[in-house]
Amino acid sequence: MGAHGSARLVFVVCGYLAFFFGELVPRAEAGCRERESPNCCTGRNNECFEYSKRKTVCYCDTYCQKTGDCCEDYQRVCQISAIDCVVGSWGPWSSCTAPCGVGSTERSRLVSVPPRNGGTPCPDLKQRRGCFGNNAICSTAKEVAKILPDSFKRNFKDPWRRPHMLMKEEKASYCVYLRVKQASAACKLKLWSAQLVRERLVCAECQSDAMSKSNRCGGDGLESTRTFWAAASVPGCHGSWVRESSSEGCRCPPYSVLFV
């Protein structure tokens, strides 16, 4: 046997020895315990990996149980110490987002025990559903204010009233300041209604003759809620506004509007 044959025999013998010792000597575990915190991850997380002693990539996420590529110590490190998420009871439903009409309401719950080391993740913590607001103010919100320029009936004297006819009780007027949000194109047909433009603050006066039995004018608006108006003397002129403030016992300045 020459030198070449001897070298080949030594190579084969070394290969057998390496295989033999590799099977008899237990492989050193590596993986999840060697990871920086957290050792284990929930769900599928491709960043949750470590290198084994054989320099192969192994994973420490829950998904590795399905793909069969968990690190050797996954069961011992992750499964035994896994803590599932625990949540509390649902809280009450919130009030409807719309005081009138279609809106939404929601409720929530808190996490009592967060998941750790591959435990079951937390379920939904919020729920939302539709609702229909029917607040006490809804009937007022549906009212449409009818308005005229302040020159129409300020200090108006009825020439046909007989001296002996009973005079209606004169009630103190009040003023409402409303921010115009929308006005139709037809409002440009008259000089007074052309002033009703978007985002303009308008003073509308409620005088005694226009008051209902509740001592208020119909459609005098709601704060933070859009209501509607129509110009009584301008066909097709209508829009919406939002009430910002009101004042009792006052008179609006010239070139304002009146409730009718």
For residue 113, report the phi and psi dihedrals to the nearest 5 degrees: -135, 115
Residues 129 and 149 occupy one common structural domain: no
Q: In the predicted model, what is the mean pLDDT of residues 230-246? A: 93
Identity (one letter) of the amino acid at 24? L
Higher pLDDT, 88 or 160: 88
* CB distance 177 to 203 below 8 Å: yes
CA pair distance 115, 122, nearest whole angstrom: 7
User: Does residue 37 lie in a domain region?
Assistant: no
CA pair distance 102, 133, nearest whole angstrom: 6
Q: What is the pLDDT of residue 137?
A: 66
Residues 219 and 194 occupy one common structural domain: yes
User: Does residue 134 lie in a domain region?
Assistant: yes
Cross-strand pairs, 98: none
Residues 203 and 177 occupy one common structural domain: yes
User: Does residue 70 lie in a domain region?
Assistant: no
Residues 193 and 133 occupy one common structural domain: no
Within 27-124, residue ranges assigned H as helices are 64-67, 74
CA angle 191, 149, 247 (to 5 degrees): 130
> How many domains does the structure of the chain reveal?
2
User: Does residue 200 lie in a domain region?
Assistant: yes
Residues 133 and 182 occupy one common structural domain: no
Q: Using one digit for the tens of pLDDT, what is the confidence trace for 58-70?
A: 998 888 888 889 8
Coil, helix or strand for 149? strand
DSSP character string of 214-256: TSS-TT--BBTBEEEEEETTSTT-EEEEEEEEEEES--PPTT-
Q: What length does the chain have? A: 260
Q: What is the pLDDT of residue 85?
A: 92
Structural domain including 110 reads 86-138
User: Does residue 211 lie in a domain region?
Assistant: yes
Residues 175 and 246 occupy one common structural domain: yes
For residue 248, give the nearest of 190, 177, 181 by alpha carbon: 177
For residue 73, give the nearest of 120, 116, 113, 26 by alpha carbon: 26
Residues 254 and 194 occupy one common structural domain: yes
User: Does residue 225 lie in a domain region?
Assistant: yes
Q: What is the pLDDT of residue 87?
A: 95
Q: What is the pLDDT of residue 97?
A: 84
Q: What is the pLDDT of residue 115?
A: 87
Percent of the chain with pLDDT over 90: 35
Q: What is the pLDDT of residue 62?
A: 84
Burial (CB count <10 Å: 0-12, 13-18, 19+), residue 183? buried
Residues 134 and 146 occupy one common structural domain: no
Cis peptide bond upstream of 115, omega within 30: no
Task: pLDDT band for 148, please (50, 70, 90 cuts).
Answer: very high
* CB distance 251 to 140 below 8 Å: no
In which residue are the tokens 């039995």 written?
Answer: 213
pLDDT surpassing 50 at residue 156: no
Residues 126 and 182 occupy one common structural domain: no
Max avg pLDDT among 6-10, 163-167, 205-209: 205-209
pLDDT surpassing 90 at residue 31: no
User: Does residue 4 lie in a domain region?
Assistant: no
Q: In the predicted model, what is the mean pLDDT of residues 74-94? A: 85
Residues 91 and 179 occupy one common structural domain: no
Which CATH number does the domain housing residue 108 bear? 2.20.100.10
pLDDT surpassing 90 at residue 83: no
User: Does residue 24 lie in a domain region?
Assistant: no
Mean pLDDT of the chain: 80
Q: Using one digit for the tens of pLDDT, what is the confidence trace for 93-145?
A: 998 887 776 789 999 999 999 987 667 899 999 999 998 877 766 766 678 89
For residue 5, give the DSSP letter: H
Flag whether the pTM goes above 0.85. no
Residues 254 and 146 occupy one common structural domain: yes
Residues 178 and 246 occupy one common structural domain: yes
